[in-house]
Structure 1
Amino acid sequence: MKFHILTFGCQMNVHDSQWLTSALESRGWEQAPEDEAQVYILNTCSVREKPEQKVYTELGRIAVHLKRDPDIIAAVGGCVGQQVGTGFFNRFPFVKLVFGTDGIANAPDALERLVEGAQERIALLDFVDIYPEREVPCRDVRVEQKSRQAFVNIMQGCDNFCTYCVVPFTRGRQKSRHPEQVLEECRTLVKGGVREITLLGQNVNSFGLDKGGVGVTFAQLLYRVAEIPGLDRLRFTTSHPKDIAPEVIRAFGELDNLCPSLHLPMQAGSDDVLRRMGRKYDSKRYVEIVDGLRAARPNLALTTDLIVAFPGETEEDFEQTMEMVEKVGFESSFSFKYSDRPGVAALKMKPKIAPDVAAERLMRLQNLQNDITRKCLKKLVGTEDDVLVEGKSRKQDEGGFWWRGRDAAGRVVNFRFEGDRDLEGLMVPVRIVEAKKHSLVGKRTGDPW
């Protein structure tokens, strides 16, 4: 059976799609281009309105393929699948399966039942109290990836209920995996050739603080994963500032393979807005965390998430966010205009910010961030680091191949390598010679390893 997966949203969705691919291929299914597939799987995101609208657009495009094969079926999973649920069945008759984030563990079996001719529609939308462990495919594409990078879920869901966020409603309450399951998966990946692992969760800092917890904190898990022989790089995302422990901050100074990068969502720089967002920290506390992180790891690359035009945000509130962005000096940020999501507390908050004001604020914020990013990257010219190669660069010219990879902090680095050796998955020592708008150009200084 030929299948095609479309993934929207966060790294957790990317990881889920990788696992689905592994599980289906281990059953003998075959990945195929969109115009050849018989089964389409949409792994969706509903954090903001725009990604949700993309789902409907893609389903409309898939409907066109019914002219080629009237037996085509589709499945919708992820956050929009959880949110809209069986509503997809009425609007798109070829959608035969909807599954939420807890239901994904049973999605491969459900898809097999459907392609074997089951005349039914299946909804896997129930939340569970304990993390639903998934089958281990007999063939794992994450291990086979030449780039040698992998994601590992350590938890799912969130208990924070920030007033703008739909995640607790679409991914459920927080559920931590058993630490031994996490460690076993990491060991298996490293044994299979993975060099870099990213631990994933909605709020990794609160790992273990739920019914699935067995007394192991996130800091303890972090140290145990870092000890795995052969693991060159370790990352984690996402971190809620209110839960980051001193032990996690210290880890950046004590673990050599813990990468000098952290995504720490600030969301706003105004204490009043942070309070109405339900973030449970203020700007002073955020700066204290940043100071502690940079004391532990002076070369730490800090990135963040920012929301502009939250209901009731004044011009003064927005200016405070601009001041915080400049003060902290984020190397990059993901910034968005606030959008109402179903069921969240902010839906009823007033006043809403006019669209033209929201757009103007977002543009100002992004212009400021672009300036800061350029300055951060320019400071790196002349420094050296190992680049983990992900593949060939899109732009090529004569005189050898250009390759693309990431330094320890996760920055994109392009460099030329003479000869036709395949570098994907290798570390290459590079000295930075030029800073671009969002990436770096390097020159090889040593042999790949």
Structure 2
Amino acid sequence: MIERKFHVMTFGCQMNVSDSDWLKRTLASRGFTECENPEDASVFIVNTCSVREKPEQKVYSLLGRINVMTKGREDIIVAVGGCVAQQVGRGFFKRFKQVRLVFGTDGLSSAPQALDRLVDDPTLRMSLLDFSEEYPDRDGNWEDSEAPVSSFVNIMTGCDNFCAYCIVPYTRGRQKSRPTQAIIDECKDLLSRGTREITLLGQNVNSFGQDSHGDGTSFTQLLYKIAELDGLKRLRFVTSHPKDIADEVIEAFGKLDVLCPRLHLPLQSGSDTILKKMGRKYDVEKYLSTVEKLKAARPDIQLTTDMIIGFPGETEEDFLETMRVAKIADYAQSFSFNYSDRPGTRAEMLPDKIEKKVMQDRLARYQAWQTDNTERILQSMVGKKLDILFEGVSRRPGTEGVSWQGRDVYGQLVIVTLPEGEDVTGKILPVTVTKATRHSLIAEKAGDTW
């Protein structure tokens, strides 16, 4: 008999994190028990990402380790979901005998029922790989529990851009916008359960409502509707495609108090030649014009980005253009990676692939600049007074009292030591930054204002 004890392992983006959180709640509502220690589990769920090569290889390695860890046990179910599952499909059954469920991005909503069946029938194997015609909405399954202080809300899935390097349209399908009222209702429910900050998620949130599933609400209108909700203190969104961000969205940064002054705006390359090969449908001039408008609307805005280094045909001059644009945009943080072929994409077939050594050298140079720039920005916060939304007790031990963690409006992690017995979960309180580390800020109470 297979026990209803599960362990979830998640790779990739914030949408995957959100999906895994939903899956955990839903399985708990169906009588499953989550195990922090994987060795105690009988049901292993791996939620995968295939945007880059490294996360995909990590999945295969992890499945191999699960096989070794559970060797000799017959009471095991391994389920593989997400983008790699959509891509590889039933091929997992051939490679890993303990994999009994493969579910794609739209199949997630049916995965809990499938796991129910697999627990009861040890001979069964199932695949849920079809794309649905509509947005696959689902119940939040919060029951009577509190929600996190900061929560994610999906507003769409899939993508219609078909950038040359990207596998998302093939693993998450074409763009499907979620009904506006369903989004509003979920936000209200989260706020009633203790959420104070909401991040709207989608592969390209700026094109929300522009597909055949849209209900007439634009992304700008959605922002304003959510900003009006009682209890909401902070609002964020990811990810934005530079070609689609409307002037009205840019203006919202200066008009909506709850909209946080930090935006993830993927550049991918600072070379017009490479951007054209990538199929990004904007050039550097347009991108920097958007940056200029954002900084005019909200002078204190911080930008983050994605960068692909070593795209096929990239010259040293192309790379130096990327460095130039990055310095102009003054990124607070970057997610930068060497280019890797993704099966079925146009870029896989392009000639002039860059030597690995050259790619790694360029990536190291870019990341060295970004590390220095991030440290400079964090150091500039020392001595400043910030309003922090406290999320909970930090894993870092406090020297005296209890170490708490929260985030400022830019999303930067802030650690504050407080006296024993003080609970500030979900509160926004002023602190003074006393120190900056490489990735976070250390702060103390701002005077006697609490």
- CA distance in structure 1 between the aligned counterparts of 2:447 and 2:162, rounded to whole angstroms: 49
What residue number does 2:107 align with? 103
Structure 1: unaligned runs, 5 residues or longer:
none
Identify which of 47, 55, 68 aligns with 2:51. Answer: 47
Q: Secondary structure at the match of 1:75?
A: strand
Shift of 1:381: 2.1
What residue number does 1:235 align with? 236
- CA distance in structure 2 between the aligned counterparts of 1:67 and 1:353, rounded to whole angstroms: 41
Shift of 1:384: 1.6
What amino acid sits opposite 1:396 in the alignment?
A: P
For residues 359-385 of structure 1, the C-alpha deviation after alignment (integer angstroms, 9 at most, x for no partner) is 000000001111211221222222222
Alpha carbons of structure 1 residues 66 and 232: separation in structure 2 relative to 1, 3 Å: same
What residue number does 2:63 align with? 59
For residues 122-169 of structure 1, the C-alpha deviation after alignment (integer angstroms, 9 at most, x for no partner) is 11111122111113325276x443xx1110100000000000001001
What residue number does 2:116 align with? 112
- CA distance in structure 1 between the aligned counterparts of 2:398 and 2:126, rounded to whole angstroms: 51
Structure 2: unaligned runs, 5 residues or longer:
none
What amino acid sits opposite 1:133 in the alignment?
A: D
Shift of 1:7: 0.3
Please tell me whether the aligned partners of residues 423 and 448 of structure 1 are also in contact (alpha carbons under 8 angstroms).
no
For residues 1-49 of structure 1, the C-alpha deviation after alignment (integer angstroms, 9 at most, x for no partner) is 1110000000000000001011111111110120111100000000011
| Alignment pair present for 1:295 and 2:296 | yes
- CA distance in structure 1 between the aligned counterparts of 2:385 and 2:74, rounded to whole angstroms: 56
What residue number does 1:151 align with? 152
What residue number does 1:439 align with? 440
What residue number does 1:392 align with? 393
Please tell me whether the aligned partners of residues 78 and 101 of structure 1 are also in contact (alpha carbons under 8 angstroms).
yes
Identify which of 9, 14, 22 aligns with 2:12. Answer: 9
Shift of 1:68: 6.2
Alpha carbons of structure 1 residues 407 and 277: separation in structure 2 relative to 1, 3 Å: same
- CA distance in structure 1 between the aligned counterparts of 2:399 and 2:58, rounded to whole angstroms: 39
- CA distance in structure 1 between the aligned counterparts of 2:331 and 2:195, rounded to whole angstroms: 29
Shift of 1:389: 2.0
What amino acid sits opposite 1:28 in the alignment?
A: G
What residue number does 1:172 align with? 173
Please tell me whether the aligned partners of residues 155 and 175 of structure 1 are also in contact (alpha carbons under 8 angstroms).
yes
Alpha carbons of structure 1 residues 250 and 115: separation in structure 2 relative to 1, 3 Å: same
Shift of 1:448: 8.8
What residue number does 1:24 align with? 27
What residue number does 2:346 align with? 345
- CA distance in structure 1 between the aligned counterparts of 2:402 and 2:437, rounded to whole angstroms: 19
- Overall identity of the aligned pairs, in %: 55
Please tell me whether the aligned partners of residues 179 and 215 of structure 2 are also in contact (alpha carbons under 8 angstroms).
yes
Q: Secondary structure at the match of 1:363?
A: helix
Alpha carbons of structure 1 residues 140 and 105: separation in structure 2 relative to 1, 3 Å: farther
What residue number does 1:323 align with? 324
For residues 320-372 of structure 1, the C-alpha deviation after alignment (integer angstroms, 9 at most, x for no partner) is 00001111100111100000000000001110000000000000000111121
What amino acid sits opposite 2:108 in the alignment?
A: I
For residues 270-325 of structure 1, the C-alpha deviation after alignment (integer angstroms, 9 at most, x for no partner) is 01001100001111111111111111111111100001000000000000000011
Shift of 1:447: 7.1
Please tell me whether the aligned partners of residues 415 and 443 of structure 1 are also in contact (alpha carbons under 8 angstroms).
yes
Alpha carbons of structure 1 residues 388 and 68: separation in structure 2 relative to 1, 3 Å: farther
Please tell me whether the aligned partners of residues 398 and 417 of structure 2 are also in contact (alpha carbons under 8 angstroms).
no
Please tell me whether the aligned partners of residues 206 and 244 of structure 2 are also in contact (alpha carbons under 8 angstroms).
yes
Please tell me whether the aligned partners of residues 434 and 442 of structure 1 are also in contact (alpha carbons under 8 angstroms).
yes
Identify which of 18, 35, 58 aligns with 2:39. Answer: 35
Shift of 1:438: 2.0
- CA distance in structure 2 between the aligned counterparts of 1:238 and 1:444, rounded to whole angstroms: 33
What residue number does 1:365 align with? 366
| Alignment pair present for 1:310 and 2:314 | no
What amino acid sits opposite 1:134 in the alignment?
A: R
- CA distance in structure 2 between the aligned counterparts of 1:438 and 1:137, rounded to whole angstroms: 34
Which consecutive aligned stretches of 4+ in structure 1 deviate over 4 angstroms post-superposition?
446-449
Shift of 1:435: 2.1
RMSD: 1.5
Q: Secondary structure at the match of 2:300?
A: coil
Shift of 1:118: 5.7
What residue number does 1:77 align with? 81
What residue number does 1:223 align with? 224
Please tell me whether the aligned partners of residues 199 and 236 of structure 2 are also in contact (alpha carbons under 8 angstroms).
yes
For residues 233-281 of structure 1, the C-alpha deviation after alignment (integer angstroms, 9 at most, x for no partner) is 1110000000001111011011111111110000010010011000011
Shift of 1:416: 1.9
Please tell me whether the aligned partners of residues 2 and 36 of structure 1 are also in contact (alpha carbons under 8 angstroms).
yes
- CA distance in structure 2 between the aligned counterparts of 1:446 and 1:207, rounded to whole angstroms: 44
What residue number does 1:265 align with? 266
Q: Secondary structure at the match of 1:241?
A: coil
What TM-score does the superposition give when structure 2 sets the normalisation length?
A: 0.96
- CA distance in structure 1 between the aligned counterparts of 2:217 and 2:198, rounded to whole angstroms: 19
In the TM superposition, 1:406-417 aligns within 5 A as 406-417=407-418
Q: Secondary structure at the match of 1:242?
A: coil
